[in-house]
Structures are given as C-alpha cells and as structure tokens.
C-alpha cells in the first residue's frame, strides 16, 4: 500500500515528505486513517482528496489527531474528506467485522498475530479473551479451530456491543459469550478456572492483570498470550527486555516462556511484543 500511496502522491510531495506520510496509513473497509506530520498539515485536504479519488473502496478519510488514549484505547479523528461515518465493515481471513474506528480500538495491523494465535489453539479448548475489543481475535480463533467456548471481556460498552454483533455476523454466537466490564471483576465473578488459554491484548497494562489471567486457567494450567510494549534501541534488545519483563510478570507462577516475538513497531524505538507463556500448576 505504501508504494501505491507514494505513486499517488508522488507529484505533490518530495521523497522525504512521502516517507513520513506512508508510514502511518490504514485502510479499514470504507475508511482511510492517516497521520499527517505538522509540516504537511496545510496540504491535508489535497492528500485526502487524492486518496478518495484513487482508492475505490474509500468513502471517508480521517486524520488521526491524538495517540491511542484512555482505558478504551481510542484515538481522536478529524474528517478531512468524504462522509463523516466512522463505522464500516472489514474483512480478515474470511471473517467479517463491523468496526467503529472512533468509539472503539481497532487495528488491521494485528491480523497476522490474530491468525498466529488461532493456529496455536487446539480443538475443544476454552479460551478467555480478557481485552476483546470488537471481538476480532475470538472470531478468527473460532473460524479456524473447533473450540468449545470463547469468553470475551471488554470494559468499553461500544466494543462489547460490536463483539456481540460480530459473533452473530460470523454465526459464532453459540460459542462466543461476551461480558462487559472490568476484566478483574468479570474474571472473579464469572470466569475463574474455566479456560485453557487466555489472551491479554492490552500491552500497556497487561502486567497488572497477570494474576487474573492465571485465575482463569482450569486447574492453574494453560497458555497465556501476554502482550507488552517495550522501548529499546534495537529489535534484539527489545526481545531481551521483553523476555525479562515477562519473567518478572510471571515470577510468582511456575511457567515457561515458550515463544516471544515482536508483533510490530508502534513508534520510534518502541515495540509491541507478545510472549506465549505456559503456566504449570504449583510454584
């Protein structure tokens, strides 16, 4: 996509201006979201109109005006061309999702990670997705693995409602059950000891929920996908720091970090990682 965008805007911008633009550009169904550096802000409407004219599926172009913020992990958006409609349908690995890019968190950049975790899941497992958002990980897992049950939890009511909608849209509502509320409260009231696998896709805060994730596991055993953010000078040191932080987060439990990798670079020298942690019974 970045080559495509470069070709599109090549007559308007210099090479170095273009490289800044194309590093943050997402197409989600009918919506295009991009970050525009301050130096190009005056040209935002030209950029947006060019995108709208050349990307067939695009109906709305939004500029991201804040980082991902708050408990709901949402961002502020400014419409710069097209219809003001932050709701769209998005396809991934033959599943369909209704997403609201303003009221909920959503990123197409996690698609490979979603499929990787689905591929690791076994038949008949029970899975808890502690920070489910609009339900993307859960639907992809359910599509590719004949799991027994998936429990979704999210504190944001808009995300919770879309996760119910998306489970129905993909005909998985018998297998996916959705809870709205704080993961700590929902785990202790309804999900203790039920799961074989737990997803923790909240890299900013997952370390504060490790006990709750372990509490979800049936007989204290299972796999936890622990997401984290790491600031580091290189990918190699990001892996080393991530490994040390994972070991620290799980130090109270008998465990084995089976796999750890960088999911994506989320900023300059700032990485999102995931560790696959096997938790065993006892200390």
Contact status: 200 vs ligand SAM (CB under 6 A): no
In this chain, which of 120, 155, 169, 232 binds ligand SAM, going by CB under 6 A? 155
- CA 199 distance to own-chain centroid: 11
- Which residues touch 131 (CB under 8 Å, ≥6 apart)? 153, 154, 183, 199, 200, 201, 202, 206
Q: Which is nearer to ligand SAM, 105 or 253 (CB)?
A: 105
Query: Up-side HSE of residue 195: CA atoms within 13 Å toward CB?
Result: 28
Minimum CB separation from ligand SAM for residue 176, in Å? 13
Minimum CB separation from ligand SAM for residue 166, in Å? 10
Contact status: 263 vs ligand SAM (CB under 6 A): no
Write out the H or E segment, with its range, that includes residue 161: helix 157-169
Dihedral Cα 51, 271, 178, 150, nearest 10 deg: 110
In this chain, which of 105, 151, 250, 253 binds ligand SAM, going by CB under 6 A? 105
Whole-number Å distance between alpha carbons of 193 and 151: 12
Contact status: 28 vs ligand SAM (CB under 6 A): no
- Which residues touch 234 (CB under 8 Å, ≥6 apart)? none
Minimum CB separation from ligand SAM for residue 253, in Å? 20
In this chain, which of 63, 126, 153, 162 binds ligand SAM, going by CB under 6 A? 153
Count residues binding ligand SAM (CB under 6 A). Answer: 21
Q: Which residue has the tokens 């030209």?
A: 46
Minimum CB separation from ligand SAM for residue 204, in Å? 8
Whole-number Å distance between alpha carbons of 272 and 4: 26
Q: Which is nearer to ligand SAM, 134 or 217 (CB)?
A: 134
Contact status: 225 vs ligand SAM (CB under 6 A): no
CA distance readout (Å), 143 to 136, 168, 176, 185: 11, 12, 11, 28
In this chain, which of 137, 250, 253, 271 binds ligand SAM, going by CB under 6 A? 137
Residue 46: other Cβ atoms inside 10 A: 15
Contact status: 71 vs ligand SAM (CB under 6 A): yes
In this chain, which of 18, 33, 73, 200 binds ligand SAM, going by CB under 6 A? 73
Segment interacting with ligand SAM, rule: CB under 6 A, options 120-128, 148-156, 250-258, 271-279? 148-156
Contact status: 110 vs ligand SAM (CB under 6 A): yes
- The tokens for 170 are 């993909």
Residues at the contact surface with ligand SAM, assessed by CB under 6 A: 71-73, 105-106, 110, 131-134, 136-137, 153-156, 159, 182-183, 201-202
């Amino acid at each position: 996509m970045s080559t495509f965008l470069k070709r599109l805007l090549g007559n308007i911008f210099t090479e170095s201006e273009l490289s800044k633009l194309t590093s943050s550009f997402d197409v989600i169904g009918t919506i295009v979201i991009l970050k525009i550096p301050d130096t190009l802000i005056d040209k935002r409407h030209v950029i947006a109109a060019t995108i709208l004219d050349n990307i067939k599926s695009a109906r709305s172009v939004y500029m991201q005006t804040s980082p991902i913020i708050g408990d709901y992990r949402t961002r502020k958006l400014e419409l710069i061309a097209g219809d003001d409609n932050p709701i769209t349908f998005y396809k991934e690995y033959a599943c369909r999702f209704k997403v609201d890019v303003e009221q909920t968190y959503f990123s197409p950049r996690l698609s490979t990670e979603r499929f990787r975790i689905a591929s690791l899941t076994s038949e008949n497992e029970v899975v808890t997705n502690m920070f489910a958002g609009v339900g993307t990980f859960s639907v992809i897992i359910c599509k590719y693995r004949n799991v027994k049950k998936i429990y979704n939890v999210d504190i944001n009511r808009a995300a919770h409602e879309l996760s119910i909608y998306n489970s129905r849209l993909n005909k998985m509502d018998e297998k996916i059950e959705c809870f709205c509320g704080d993961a700590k409260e929902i785990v202790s009231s309804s999900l203790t000891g039920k799961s074989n696998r737990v997803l923790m896709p909240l890299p900013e805060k997952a370390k504060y929920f490790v006990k709750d994730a372990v509490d979800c596991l049936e007989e204290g055993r299972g796999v936890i996908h622990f997401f984290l953010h790491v600031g580091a000078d290189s990918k190699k040191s990001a892996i080393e720091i991530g490994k040390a932080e994972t070991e620290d987060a799980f130090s109270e439990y008998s465990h084995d970090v089976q796999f750890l990798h960088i999911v994506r670079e989320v900023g300059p020298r700032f990485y999102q990682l995931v560790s696959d942690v096997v938790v065993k019974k006892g200390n």
